[in-house]
A and B are shown apart, each in its own frame.
Chain A
Amino acid sequence: GESVGLHLPTLSVQEGDNSIINCAYSNSASDYFIWYKQESGKGPQFIIDIRSNMDKRQGQRVTVLLNKTVKHLSLQIAATQPGDSAVYFCAEKFADSNYQLIWGAGTKLIIKP
């Protein structure tokens, strides 16, 4: 995709504060969205997902918000910890696809002590 060649945007957050990572998606017909966390040198790991018929979903210390009107997805991490330092990717699945995820560019989250 177009985002593959771009440098990752960075978000710096104070330890203990809440982090909000944003993502704009491309297809209004997408029916599934997912957030992944990738630590340095490792493969991405699932954090949380949400279907298009929902606006909000909560997990342990994480919340995903979906605004279909403006095609915007966000990941909120409560009480950010040093272990949250990673690159975070959003991805969408088009409703007419059973196989592929369309990936966002990623955001690097840096935790300041």
Chain B
Amino acid sequence: SQTIHQWPATLVQPVGSPLSLECTVEGTSNPNLYWYRQAAGRGLQLLFYSVGIGQISSEVPQNLSASRPQDRQFILSSKKLLLSDSGFYLCAWSVVNEQFFGPGTRLTVL
């Protein structure tokens, strides 16, 4: 069966510090991968999606970037965090239509 892992579960970082969130998927090959952000009490905002290794599409211009160094690994990064980067970050994968979500990372930027 397929599983998706995200870490860390929670993170508190100072403004201006770098960020690296990792997502890995097991049990499937060549999935589409997604990074979403969700502010408290809000909906899902698609940040990046990837249809293959090294292929990244950005939906929202910002100080975040994404990389896919391996088929089942998706990384969200920032060189300098802003207060507005706080939120709940969700990784998801899909093969056809349905997207499967990871447990999320709660990021607080102080």
Interface residues, chain A, CB within 8 Å of chain B?
A: 1, 3-8, 32, 34, 41-46, 49, 89, 93, 98-101, 103-106
Contact = CB atoms under 8 A, between A and B. Distances in A.
B19 interface: no
A108 B83 CA distance: 26
Given A99-B32, A99-B49, A99-B51, A43 B43 contact: no
Given A8-B42, A103-B43, 11 more contacts: A1-B43, A1-B46, A4-B39, A7-B41, A7-B42, A42-B104, A44-B44, A44-B101, A49-B97, A99-B32, A103-B46
A42 B96 CA distance: 23
B104 A100 contact: no
A106 B32 CA distance: 23
A43 B45 contact: no
Contacts of B76: none
